[in-house]
Structure 1
Amino acid sequence: MSTAAVTDKRPGSLRGARLPKWSPWAIAAGSVALAVVIGLAGGLHSKVQWGLIAAILFVLGTYGIATRVEGRRQAKDRIATSLVWVAFLLAVVPLVSLGWTTVSRGVKVLDFYFLSHSMGVVADSEAGGGIYHAIIGSLEQVGLATVIGAPIGVLTAIYLVEYGRGRLSQAVTFFVDVMTGIPSIVAGLFILSLMLIFKMQPFGFAGSLALAILMMPVVVRSTEEMLKLVPNELREASLALGVPKWRTILKVVLPTSIGGITTGIMLAIARIAGETAPVLLLVFGNPFINNNPFEGAQASLPLYIYQQYAQSAGANAAYDRAWAASLTLIAFVMILNLVARGIARWKAPR
């Protein structure tokens, strides 16, 4: 009986004191209050500084209290969790602030008239005008870039995963890695040098070429990872039935990974939709509607935002138009991300 009593007491002896579940919230509230007091006493008027002080106090307070109550081992786990939460807040707060600022300032002039009219003969200092010409330019430039970059990127990824061996594969992988980190302005300068050689004037398709260069490595990397996730058993089963390799790729590998490939392409489109430097160099901007991307200067949303903000020194109308165009561009990128998530769920293997 005494042995049973000792056995029953062992779990209790191994279980040390624990902080209540509400303790992180209490420590966070105390850290914020103490940070406000320190900020006011030290003459710090920036809320960012108050937030950083609160984050440091939260981490130190969590470690000190957890060490005293639960021991140093459990305190290390607590401080790791605290650092994760602090990092999460440091990432979310600027994002929420950016979204709120863009929405609050962009809705001032964002309406059907703004979306369905161009700047035309409206001066930057005058009220009115819209982004219809910029929307057309962005859709055409990004669309042409996708038509060029997506197939090349997917085919390159298929080569690297299914056929790539030897030095050629290593060289292609190296150049893809280099292109992944290439600045957008460099891609624009490359196309601009070709335009100067052939004495071409700015036009929309030139911007599409630069955007395609930026898009291809993103598509290659995402498609490559999706193809690697396809089980080799599926390939072996198809080859064992006498199906040629090219047909196995076309009928087995690609349908299995089509959801991830489509998602990667959508994210690559969202990545290039906000590029300004190549468009500024190659497309040049146009306040009028130009539906032909192969002739004449053309507008785009990122370039429109830059030009309106550059002219907003003494014009509130241009300033409001810049924020409204920014909100439209963010909505466009958000829709693309939602579409990518929807396709990924729809085509996910079951």
Structure 2
Amino acid sequence: MTTPSEPGTTPTEPGDARVDPSLSVIISERRQLINLGYRLLGSLADAEDVVQETYARWYAMSRQQQEAIHHPGAWLTKVAGRICLDLLGSARARRESYVGEWIPEPLPEPTEWITGRPGGATPDPADRVTLDESVTMAFLVVLESMTPAERVAFVLHDVFRYSFAEVAEIVGRTPAACRQLASSARRRIRASQVPSAPAARQAGLVRDFKQAWETKDIGTLIGLLAPDATLIADGGGLVSAAFRPIEGGEQIARYMIAIADRATLTILERTVNGQPGLVAQHDGVTVTVAAFDVPSDRITRIWAVRNPDKLWPWTANPPR
């Protein structure tokens, strides 16, 4: 598994280091913390909130308290991990009241971020998540099935390569217990995942799906989908979307044709969480981002994110 061990840095203004020798070190950790928060929470917005809260706690300390911390990066990671653990504990209750299905926020390629947060802020390069197999939609969905402690232990150890002793300080359990948590999480990953088709094959199938969707060719759509394929849509109660998973290739194909019949859409091939995906736009505004699971010669799963609150990196004109 590719590890985002060098998440990059954010440039500081001239003279920053003279004002506070630790400032450049603290700021350089931002991208690492964003990467950690997104993998743990499945939400870029929540990850940014975690980073802001982590920095707030750092700057709430006196200068003497800060200087007593020999490894600021480790301290920031520990605090961010604990905040994420708390949020994961409350997330399940929030998901119970969420309208329809919940899907992690989809991410574009770093070079394809169109806008910043709703309101027009320019995106900071440090806010962009490193794309690897630990942020594919299929992987994130499996993480969602884990307990908060399993998820934190697994991501910190297997993805970010922290020792179990370090993980134990964050999770509040013994290193041996954290080892067991990560092992349990690993079993979940192995049980749910199958090898993906080569990238070129995935891209070809997604392209064929796009063309069949545009031409409303239901026969071709059915042929591209596995008979037991599943589509999950996330509208968040803000836009129309299927409330429950749609099962079966033919049922999914009919659903896609019904969408195409309701509105004139522009369908674009885009990278979604590091893999071939599709973006549907209406009047220049991104209304759907679709991620695909292609283990062999047919599409087995589609995750269609329609909640506009999760699509702000994808459109130059976010809905108000």
Q: Same fold (TM over 0.5)?
A: no
Task: Give the TM-score normalised by the residue count of structure 1.
Answer: 0.22
Q: What TM-score, normalized to structure 2? A: 0.23
Larger Rg: 1
Structure with greater proportional helix content? 1
More strand by share: 2
